[in-house]
Structure 1
Amino acid sequence: MTFGQTSILVILAATMALFLWGRWRHDVVAVAALLAAVAAGLVAPDAAFTGLGHPAVVTVACVLVLSAVLQSSGAVDWLVSVAVPRRTGPSLTIAALAGLCALLSAFMNNVGALALLMPAAMPVATRLKLPPGRVLMPLAFGSILGGMTTLIGTPPNLIVSSFRGQAGGPDHFAMFDFTPVGLAVALAGLLFITLAWRLVPARKVGDAEGFAAGAYITEARVPEGAKAAGMTLRAIEAALEDSDAQVIGLLRDERRIAAPHLSREVKAGDILVIEAEPEALAGALAELGLKLEEDVRDAGAEATEDREGPMAALQSGEVVLGEYVVRPRAEISGLSASGIRLRHQYGINLLALSRRGVRTTGRLNTMALREGDMLLLQGTPEPLADFAHRFGLVPLAARALRLPDARRAAIAGGVMLAAIAGAGFGLVPAAIAFAGAVLAVVLLGQMPARRIYDAVDWSVVVLLAALIPVAEAMASTGAADLVAQALLAPVAGFGATGALVLVLVVTMTLSDFMNNAGTSAVMCPVAIGLAGQLGVAADPFLMAVAIGASCAFLTPIGHQNNTLILGPGGFRFGDYWRLGLPLEAVVVAVAVPALLVFWPL
């Protein structure tokens, strides 16, 4: 192997290892890989950031903006209210929800589609007397299946399209080139989910109507004269038994005692760390005369805070509790309640936190929040809604329906359809069509120009822009051909069809454990190399990469939507494969014949 081939393979191996480790954000890892490729002389310095202007990256950013416009118009809420059945059995209801999510995901960001439908799904779980996870996992899998059906449905499709020109054919795939195979796979997958949703583990996570996701961890202070003062922890736990709550820690003089002995006596001023369901918190506190630590802080803040600020609104307005889950790549990820001055800046209290069923050990107010965390927030309705929108929180309860403005909905829908038609009929390139659509919604007053940048998930943009030059270096150095030769050995006796199956399965496997955009960027040069070694068309192999990169059903880390339902569904890491593994088998069984029919070798 040459120096260039060795270098790019080492960089890609390290990049994949860091993706799997998950310690650093995917966009940070991608930028590190790009800079390493530049340092090794594999990417020219003046070409390092050309990915920022790549048509695939521009299209992704524009589609994210248009998705936000569709959501804010209220049209999607109306569609949900019409399409979700109210008096059918579980199988038909789950099929309708998953099908609607798949339809939305074909033309808008699939994380946004799932976030819109999650609050609507929970009353359905309550009505059907099902654990929330048995509705949420089909919903998440439906959103993933829908994304593979169009060019704009998911970033991997755009990346695959951008590599087509390297195979010697047309420069890009058209809007609906993915539809024949993608739709066949999506319909088969949705049918399987409708029949097999009972394979989802029935995790009991509390009352689905409140969207509780297991026990929350909260802090309660023992005030002077409280019943708990002077009691032992053993006596307190006995008193809390009826409330299904327990003490898991004690804070005294800012010192945390993580596993206090049951004979320890509780004193006034101590803070008890209590694990309880949200519905049981009030009973647990009242039983022992305890006060939420946030309420104690609020009382002390009255003398020092401006009574016209957010704190005044919290103390005088209609105070409500809301449960939220932190979206993948949310702005609040890595921040703490105290770090963003949640109470003083926004008039909101963080009362409790649930993290994937794992007990937390840090102070609630200073703990760095992570994607998938469930938060119990207290505040007035409007600040809560604004805060959730700004920082990327998904409300976990049925929201009041936003009645769509007919004019706004018509304009937003018309602009989106015009962009899809322009790209679909080949009138203009996809990037130009959707950039023009973004300009149109701004000029027509559908979205303020300043909000465009808030609607873009910049971590996705940076990830794609950084990985595209790295993947191109893999092809230019010949490393992709070396990997293709190595992959051909085990399927030599099965010919091109065997190689096609191998590409599909390898891509699916990688996508279950690393970012799907990264997977497609790595596998596209390999797929093109395999086609070249076999002397067949590259298009079916690229389509196999597109299908495989979208089908991450085995783990909660393979796709953002799998992460989003982890906490609310009460799932464990190993719960996904029970429905996901047979679903991936269905995908392979349907995708391979469809590829051979619609994209002959």
Structure 2
Amino acid sequence: MTQDQMLICAILTATMALFLWGRLRHDVVALAALMACVVAGLVPAAEAFAGFGHPAVITVACVLVLSRGLQTTGAVDWLARTVLPDKAGRLTSMAALLGLGAALSGVMNNVGAMALLMPVAVQLAGRLDLTPGQVLMPLAFGTILGGMTTLVGTPPNLIVSGFRAEAGLGHFAMFDFAPVGAAVAVAGVAFVTLIGWRLVPARKATGSEDFATGTYLTEVRVPEKSKAVGMTLRQFERAIEDSGAQVVGLVRNEVRMTAPHGGRPIHAADILVLEADVDALAEALSVFGIELEEQGPSSDDTTDAAPREAPTEQDSAPDTRTRPERDEDIVLRELAVLPGSTMVGRSAADLRLRTRYGLNLLAVSREGRPPRARLRALKLKSGDLLLMQGPAEVMADFIDDTRCVPLGARDLRIPDKRMALIAGAIMLGAIAIVTLGLLPAATAFALGVLASMVLRTVPPRDVYTAIDWPVIVLLGALIPVAGAMQATGAADLLARVLVDTVAQGNAIAALAVVLVVTMFLSDVMNNAATAAVVCPIAIGIAAALGVNPDSFLMAVAIGASCAFLTPIGHQNNTLILGPGGFGFGDYWRMGLPLEVLVVAVSVPLLLVVWPL
């Protein structure tokens, strides 16, 4: 083993260890791996960022934008309303939901498909007398399976196609993945529909009526002689910060203000709505001489007071959101944090929820349990379930801005039928161009993005927010690292080790090993990262055995799209953690037999469709 080979193997080992550790975001880990390769001289500095111009990276970004057009115009809502039955039984309803999810994932980003269908799944669970998790996990697995059917269904397919082109064999066509991928998807969806959902633990998801926060929402009146009179709300909150209490509302002159501005001064006779632990609340009241007005254990009690006319006095720091709010304007929403959301890694204080949006964060559930950290200081993670309170219109804007998924009931609607049809036509047109070989995938979908901007199915201001930038950075950073594996000969070395020690020189055994190893890595790493790492090794194994590399590349594509054992292998698995009330060890119960089924179906098909 040469020095360069030892260096790249050490970097890859450290990279996979950091992926497994999970404390750093995947894009940060990938960028660190790239910089390590540059410093070690394995990747020329002038070519360090060449991966960001790779066709696979461009195509992924464009597909994300076109998927946003399908979402915002209501095209998917219309399809869901048309396809999903209203009064069918469990078998028919589950089959329709999973079939729709798998079909959508073949032509759009599978995380987007999952996010759109999650509220439908939660409603369906209630109608079928199932826990939300018993529908959400099957839906997550169904959307993952559907992604393997087309070139653009999932990033690993695009990465595999890119490595094939770099090997001098040309890109895979749009539906080259379908013969094996579709068969595996159909078998997987059938298994989940008939048997798999019964294996899902019946966890009770945390809902707005039973968030275990350990706190009460309490109204307290400020008397004239209270020390709090004259203080701003921000000063008051800082004074009671050690108690963990927070001000979530203010009533003045019978006008209720939700999430009042921190610069608003406290007046005598004001009623403060506090969220606090009972013991801490008593301490805060005694220090400031504040009197209990009324107390109730339910967050719904915060909307009981009837609004009156707005106050006439002008405060020194007026709140920009102080118009009188009607009871029906104030809503409670359960929101699931999407992977890639702008909220990930930030706290309520960092996001300035109250001053920027006029919203209250009332509770957080993580893996079905309340976190131990203080609410305002808690760094949010993907899959967290949030209980938010605020005006309905503001809440809708917040959901759009932060890429959260509302889990409450919502009407399926078509905001603009004409625009929905245009968005669908653009996506189908781009797919047709690639299928007919008129343009490469990156160019065809970039043309689709341009059409979306011109026709405004995706407003130009939303184009960049539609792109999941952590995924783009991950891909752009790891592609040069994978290139270094090939350039140093490390990929060929690892391939020979697998062929000689594990597969014993048998091509079929080697194919199964590549599939199983890829599936395992995909369960503990990001699936796109797994494809980028394993593709050079798969090509090396095919060369060592003197067989068709397409068989092994397709095995990588299948394996990278089958992360069913853990919540970290795929974003859709992460997304259902909170809403499903799941823990880390709940996924393998349905995931393990599903992965065994995938191996049993895909290996024979690979030998027939892509013979060695």
Taking structure 1 as the reference length, the TM-score comes to 0.87
Which residue in 2 is equivalent to 1:241? Answer: none
**CA offsets, 1:515-550, max 9 Å, x none?**
001100000000001001100010010000000001
- Residue 26 of structure 1 contacts residue 515 of structure 1 at CA under 8 Å; is this kept in 2? yes
Task: Measure the CA separation in 2 of the matches of 1:362 and 1:532.
Answer: 53
Which residue identity does 1:81 align to in structure 2? R
Task: Measure the CA separation in 2 of the matches of 1:188 and 1:291.
Answer: 49
Task: Measure the CA separation in 2 of the matches of 1:157 and 1:533.
Answer: 23
- Residue 219 of structure 1 contacts residue 364 of structure 1 at CA under 8 Å; is this kept in 2? no
Which residue in 1 is equivalent to 2:160? Answer: 160
Does residue 461 (structure 1) correspond to residue 460 (structure 2)? The answer is: no
Which residue identity does 1:596 align to in structure 2? L
Q: Which of 227, 232, 241 is the aligned partner of 1:254?
A: 241
Task: Measure the CA separation in 2 of the matches of 1:477 and 1:138.
Answer: 42
From the superposition, tell whether residues 338 and 188 of structure 1 become closer, same or farther in structure 2 (CA, over 3 Å).
same
Which residue in 1 is equivalent to 2:519? Answer: 508
**CA offsets, 1:29-53, max 9 Å, x none?**
1111111101111111111111111
**CA offsets, 1:187-206, max 9 Å, x none?**
00001001111011111236
Q: What is the DSSP-based 3-state SS (H/G/I as helix, E as strand, rest coil) of the residue aligned with 1:310? A: coil
Task: Measure the CA separation in 1 of the matches of 2:45 and 2:371.
Answer: 45
- More deviation in 519-528 or 494-503? 494-503
Where do 1:185-200 residues align within 5 Å?
Answer: 185-196=184-195, 197-200=197-200
- Residue 223 of structure 1 contacts residue 268 of structure 1 at CA under 8 Å; is this kept in 2? no
Task: Measure the CA separation in 2 of the matches of 1:289 and 1:68.
Answer: 34
- Residue 253 of structure 1 contacts residue 270 of structure 1 at CA under 8 Å; is this kept in 2? no
Which residue in 1 is equivalent to 2:584? Answer: 573
- Residue 211 of structure 2 contacts residue 363 of structure 2 at CA under 8 Å; is this kept in 1? no
Which residue identity does 1:528 align to in structure 2? I
Q: Which of 422, 439, 455 is the aligned partner of 1:444?
A: 455
Deviation at 1:466, TM superposition (A): 0.4
Task: Measure the CA separation in 2 of the matches of 1:395 and 1:343.
Answer: 19
Which residue in 1 is equivalent to 2:551? Answer: 540
Q: What is the DSSP-based 3-state SS (H/G/I as helix, E as strand, rest coil) of the residue aligned with 2:382? A: coil
Which residue in 1 is equivalent to 2:41? Answer: 41
Which residue in 2 is equivalent to 1:215? Answer: 211
From the superposition, tell whether residues 459 and 304 of structure 1 become closer, same or farther in structure 2 (CA, over 3 Å).
farther
Deviation at 1:504, TM superposition (A): 0.1
From the superposition, tell whether residues 80 and 287 of structure 1 become closer, same or farther in structure 2 (CA, over 3 Å).
closer
From the superposition, tell whether residues 419 and 157 of structure 1 become closer, same or farther in structure 2 (CA, over 3 Å).
same
- More deviation in 358-367 or 132-141? 358-367
Which residue in 1 is equivalent to 2:256? Answer: none
Which residue identity does 2:517 align to in structure 1? V
- Residue 131 of structure 1 contacts residue 204 of structure 1 at CA under 8 Å; is this kept in 2? yes
Task: Measure the CA separation in 2 of the matches of 1:64 and 1:584.
Answer: 27
Which residue in 2 is equivalent to 1:7? Answer: 7
Which residue identity does 2:172 align to in structure 1? F
Deviation at 1:215, TM superposition (A): 3.2
From the superposition, tell whether residues 311 and 393 of structure 1 become closer, same or farther in structure 2 (CA, over 3 Å).
farther
Q: What is the DSSP-based 3-state SS (H/G/I as helix, E as strand, rest coil) of the residue aligned with 1:557? A: coil
Which residue identity does 1:215 align to in structure 2? F
- More deviation in 211-220 or 566-575? 211-220
- Residue 566 of structure 2 contacts residue 588 of structure 2 at CA under 8 Å; is this kept in 1? yes
Which residue in 2 is equivalent to 1:31? Answer: 31
- Residue 512 of structure 1 contacts residue 554 of structure 1 at CA under 8 Å; is this kept in 2? yes
Which residue identity does 1:135 align to in structure 2? V
From the superposition, tell whether residues 492 and 332 of structure 1 become closer, same or farther in structure 2 (CA, over 3 Å).
closer
Q: What is the DSSP-based 3-state SS (H/G/I as helix, E as strand, rest coil) of the residue aligned with 1:104? A: helix
Which residue identity does 2:125 align to in structure 1? A
Task: Measure the CA separation in 1 of the matches of 2:363 and 2:116.
Answer: 24
Task: Measure the CA separation in 2 of the matches of 1:430 and 1:67.
Answer: 15
Which residue in 2 is equivalent to 1:230? Answer: none
- Residue 527 of structure 2 contacts residue 569 of structure 2 at CA under 8 Å; is this kept in 1? yes
Task: Measure the CA separation in 2 of the matches of 1:536 and 1:192.
Answer: 33
Does residue 382 (structure 1) correspond to residue 393 (structure 2)? The answer is: yes
Which residue identity does 1:329 align to in structure 2? G
Which residue in 1 is equivalent to 2:77? Answer: 77
Task: Measure the CA separation in 2 of the matches of 1:165 and 1:106.
Answer: 22
Deviation at 1:444, TM superposition (A): 1.8
Which residue in 1 is equivalent to 2:282? Answer: 267
- Residue 318 of structure 1 contacts residue 380 of structure 1 at CA under 8 Å; is this kept in 2? yes
From the superposition, tell whether residues 156 and 303 of structure 1 become closer, same or farther in structure 2 (CA, over 3 Å).
farther
Equivalenced residue count is 552
Task: Measure the CA separation in 2 of the matches of 1:497 and 1:596.
Answer: 8
Q: Which of 585, 595, 598 is the aligned partner of 2:606?
A: 595
**CA offsets, 1:378-403, max 9 Å, x none?**
11111101101111211011212222
- More deviation in 89-98 or 421-430? 89-98
Task: Measure the CA separation in 1 of the matches of 2:212 and 2:45.
Answer: 50
From the superposition, tell whether residues 5 and 92 of structure 1 become closer, same or farther in structure 2 (CA, over 3 Å).
same
From the superposition, tell whether residues 285 and 479 of structure 1 become closer, same or farther in structure 2 (CA, over 3 Å).
farther
Which residue in 1 is equivalent to 2:98? Answer: 98
- Residue 105 of structure 1 contacts residue 147 of structure 1 at CA under 8 Å; is this kept in 2? yes
From the superposition, tell whether residues 6 and 304 of structure 1 become closer, same or farther in structure 2 (CA, over 3 Å).
farther
- Residue 156 of structure 2 contacts residue 557 of structure 2 at CA under 8 Å; is this kept in 1? yes
Which residue in 1 is equivalent to 2:539? Answer: 528
Task: Measure the CA separation in 1 of the matches of 2:597 and 2:417.
Answer: 41
From the superposition, tell whether residues 494 and 477 of structure 1 become closer, same or farther in structure 2 (CA, over 3 Å).
closer
Does residue 585 (structure 1) correspond to residue 584 (structure 2)? The answer is: no
From the superposition, tell whether residues 496 and 320 of structure 1 become closer, same or farther in structure 2 (CA, over 3 Å).
same
Which residue identity does 1:598 align to in structure 2? V
**CA offsets, 1:27-82, max 9 Å, x none?**
11111111110111111111111111110000000000000011111111011111
From the superposition, tell whether residues 324 and 535 of structure 1 become closer, same or farther in structure 2 (CA, over 3 Å).
same
- Residue 217 of structure 2 contacts residue 295 of structure 2 at CA under 8 Å; is this kept in 1? no
- Residue 499 of structure 2 contacts residue 505 of structure 2 at CA under 8 Å; is this kept in 1? no
Q: What is the DSSP-based 3-state SS (H/G/I as helix, E as strand, rest coil) of the residue aligned with 1:554? A: coil
Which residue identity does 2:191 align to in structure 1? F
From the superposition, tell whether residues 13 and 267 of structure 1 become closer, same or farther in structure 2 (CA, over 3 Å).
same
Which residue in 1 is equivalent to 2:174? Answer: 175
Q: What is the DSSP-based 3-state SS (H/G/I as helix, E as strand, rest coil) of the residue aligned with 2:362? A: strand
Where do 1:91-490 residues align within 5 Å?
Answer: 91-170=91-170, 172-196=171-195, 197-205=197-205, 215-217=211-213, 219-220=215-216, 253-256=240-243, 267=282, 269=284, 285-286=295-296, 304=315, 309-312=320-323, 318-490=329-501
Which residue identity does 1:91 align to in structure 2? L
From the superposition, tell whether residues 498 and 315 of structure 1 become closer, same or farther in structure 2 (CA, over 3 Å).
same
**CA offsets, 1:92-149, max 9 Å, x none?**
2111111100110101111110110010111111111101111001000000000000
Deviation at 1:267, TM superposition (A): 2.5
Task: Measure the CA separation in 2 of the matches of 1:577 and 1:561.
Answer: 15
- More deviation in 582-591 or 334-343? 334-343
Which residue in 1 is equivalent to 2:232? Answer: none
Task: Measure the CA separation in 2 of the matches of 1:512 and 1:111.
Answer: 16
Structure 1: tracts of 5 or more residues without a match: 227-250, 272-283
From the superposition, tell whether residues 492 and 459 of structure 1 become closer, same or farther in structure 2 (CA, over 3 Å).
closer
- Residue 213 of structure 1 contacts residue 567 of structure 1 at CA under 8 Å; is this kept in 2? no
Task: Measure the CA separation in 1 of the matches of 2:509 and 2:120.
Answer: 43
